[in-house]
Structure 1
């Protein structure tokens, strides 16, 4: 491409950054990075009643966690009101916009009358200036809105980057409000001015915006502004087959961080929701940037699959640096109210257990036994810690009190105890696990014990 590629993501801070917006952000970011372009973050905060600073902070945190670095921004629409109002004045002077004094009650009556006649509901253009038309008298005490003078005839056509050619007739859309009485712009107008001012060349967004695009294209043309290319990606469906959204079933991106997912795994999984590169399931951030040229985006809705995400995360967990996992597991333990210092969880802890885990929360579940009391179930105690094995457990505790505290010596102490009491390995190892670890199944018992404080092991073995 010869032009400088500039993409953007423009979330509304009326709630958390949900998965659909995160995927759109990822596609926009990867496209810009692939072509050596720039990625812009814009916060669309004109819904003053519902926008919150908490949501803004969550959006920024989610972007940071995913590693979607932006070159410009964040820009806030509420800080650009003078710019929108100036453009509206230019449009009023040019005749591409006009003031409308309809009250909400008049608009309701208009729609009801249209329904009664079996017509499509929409603004009837009563304040739209036309040659020879006499407009109503301006009512006192009514603050006007400003409407865009949408072309009355012709088609709007664009070649969508995902869906291909789309055509909508101008008769299907009415003269939308672009500026409210309080001077705050509406979405379809503000987004055009922003994309124009920020020189956005490519817009990836959810396909719920397809119906907004004709209005926006017409406003671009009315302003004499260059058109970006649009790509509308299909929705993400939940397990129930319905669309994930802020209001229905979606979980915030940061919630997945708290649940113990790795950002590189989430990035990989999100990329595969509606995009593919051959049969590749697992790939690095660098590979994604190398491959993502805007092609191979699916036209069909993507299905959220929690089990697939868990599998992807498990693969990344196995390959993750153990020192990094120690930090993440420490954070998870604190979320579970387990008192643990930064130095207590070691890379060796993580190396031993990570292959058994799906998330760092799972890892913390395993590691909690090292830092908090365990409570074996009554059933497991009754099944495994029998009267027949208790003498061997006492003997093992005695041996472990004096051996070098490392895996080989612990293993030899277990073997010596087994030989002394005529047992087989599972007959002693499983009761040891139940008492020390609170569960019957763990990795190799000598490796597990070696990571405990010696006193904890002995005290738990003696708590018969």
Structure 2
């Protein structure tokens, strides 16, 4: 058997962080077993589904690296197929038409609540002669569900779960306008897509019982169900807006690398021994549903941030530059030139250890890409007045005489100039940092000199000296 999983979001908003974890688990399980991971967009709710939401889902999955196999399936393209299955059930007696009015249904629901029954529909039209149907009333189509016994699901995560059939009423398959319900569409699509494992949030567990009845009524193989616990906030409550960002795109905009987000999500509810940091390729080698816990996992932004810092430190400089380049270009108002990008890549080793997010990194790297003349911040500007200007001029003279430019040669030259003037090295380094970066905070100043190169370094110093003189 070829394992086939699917992720089936509804495009009514952003890609929720919980949905991203569901997609990740589905993909990991499929890859672990050499199977397929499919994507289905459940867009039958035309009133709430939007093109923007569909695009956000696709872009969110792609940003995370959760590529799917084949083309996405759009549920709205398959309405005729769903209706045809309902007709098959009508033809075989597995379903029937119900002509109850809204008022009658409301009365049934109220009566069921009073007697504590989960069966909200009393089966009025289950065995009634259709010839008795009132004129001008468009019927719904209902499944003829079993009245006794129980429906059992051997869930790959939750274990054996059962519900009495007298708690499951004859659900609607087709509405009065002929459109299929969610329950019918999901089952038909999963069957037609050859889905072998339905991995989704445990808020769908009650749906699984009803969907099982449809599978049985059609005589179809029932997939393996695996209902994973939802993600909770740090306080143990279901993750919501009050806990912070919910959408994947928000974490992208906050500067978390996709590798860090995937690594963190993989550990939310699944574990492999004491392993905390691993690639998704390694996770695909390890992942199994048996290791998914039954209890909700708590989302911890501090842990995600720690993982983010790790991935930034370990990431190749060229890839890091590519991730933050769009942000830098937006700040500068123009694409980076080849020289600016080369300078950025060269400067990243000294910036990575301090960055927790890509936003942090982009902010710290901005001075390498700024065009001349730099505008120093208030603290830096104070270092370029009076004595600071004189010390900067001393440093400039020492640097100008270097033949073979490097961090080591720059440090030797500036250190010698400081000693000759009876100054400490820091006295020259501070105004030098202000002139080169426009700030009082940066990587080691001689590393900065090396990355900028001689011409750019002297040019920035001259800009500052000219500004101070003016």
Same fold (TM over 0.5): yes
C-alpha contact (below 8 Å) 1:339/1:371 kept by paired residues: no
Q: Does 1:296 align with 2:291?
A: yes
1:274 is aligned to 2:269: yes
- CA distance in 2 between counterparts of 1:170 and 1:243 reads 29
Contact in 2 for aligned 1:239/1:304 (Cα 8 Å): yes
2:57 is the counterpart of 1:59: yes
Distance of aligned partners of 1:430 and 1:106 in 2 relative to their CA distance in 1, 3 Å threshold: farther
Work out the CA distance in 2 between the residues paired with 1:310 and 1:460: 37
Q: CA 1:199/1:243 → structure 2, altered by over 3 Å: closer, same or farther?
A: same
Of residues 359, 362, 365, the one that matches 2:363 is 365
Is contact 1:158–1:166 with CA below 8 Å preserved after alignment? Answer: yes
Residues 1:456 and 2:460 are matched in the alignment = yes
Q: After alignment, is 412-421 or 325-334 more displaced?
A: 412-421
Alpha-carbon distance in structure 2 between the residues aligned to 1:358 and 1:459: 32
Aligned counterpart, 2:125: 128
Paired residue total: 457
Do the aligned partners of 1:376 and 1:438 also contact (CA within 8 Å) in 2? yes
Q: Measure how far apart 1:309 and its partner are.
A: 1.0
Query: What whole-Å deviation, never above 9, does each CA across 1:306-350 have from its counterpart, x for those lacking one?
Result: 111111122111121111112222112134355341521232122
Contact in 2 for aligned 1:127/1:136 (Cα 8 Å): no
State which of 19, 30, 33 in structure 1 corresponds to 2:31. 33
- Judged with a 3 Å threshold, the aligned counterparts in structure 2 of structure 1 residues 105 and 240 are, in CA distance, closer, same or farther, namely farther
Distance in 2, matches of 1:333 and 1:209, equals: 43
Please give the residue correspondences for 1:344-355 in structure 2 after superposition, counting only pairs within 5 Å: 344-346=340-342, 347-355=345-353
The verdict on how the C-alpha distance between 1:219 and 1:247 changes in structure 2, with shifts beyond 3 A counting, is farther
Normalized per residue, the structure richer in helix is 2
Contact persistence 1:163–1:231 (CA under 8 A): yes
Cα distance, 1:114 vs. partner?
A: 4.5
Q: CA deviation at 1:401?
A: 4.6
The one of 43, 46, 49 equivalent to 2:47 is 49
Map of 1:11 onto structure 2: 9
1:268-299 per-position Cα deviation (integer Å, ceiling 9, x unaligned): 11110000110001112221111112221111
Q: TM-score, normalised by structure 1?
A: 0.91
TM-score normalised to the size of structure 2?
0.90
**In 1, distance between residues paired with 2:42 and 2:240?**
17
Residue 415 of structure 1: aligned partner: 415
Task: Please tell me whether residue 202 in structure 1 is matched to residue 197 in structure 2.
Answer: yes
- 140-149 vs 205-214, which deviates more? 140-149
Shift of 1:142: 3.1
**Aligned mates of 1:403, 1:22 — CA distance in 2:** 54
Q: Is the 8 A contact 1:147 1:177 kept in 2?
A: yes
Structure 2: which 5+ residue stretches go unaligned?
none
Higher mean C-alpha displacement, 212-221 vs 120-129? 120-129
Structure 1 pair 88–437 and aligned structure 2 pair: CA distance change class (3 A) = same
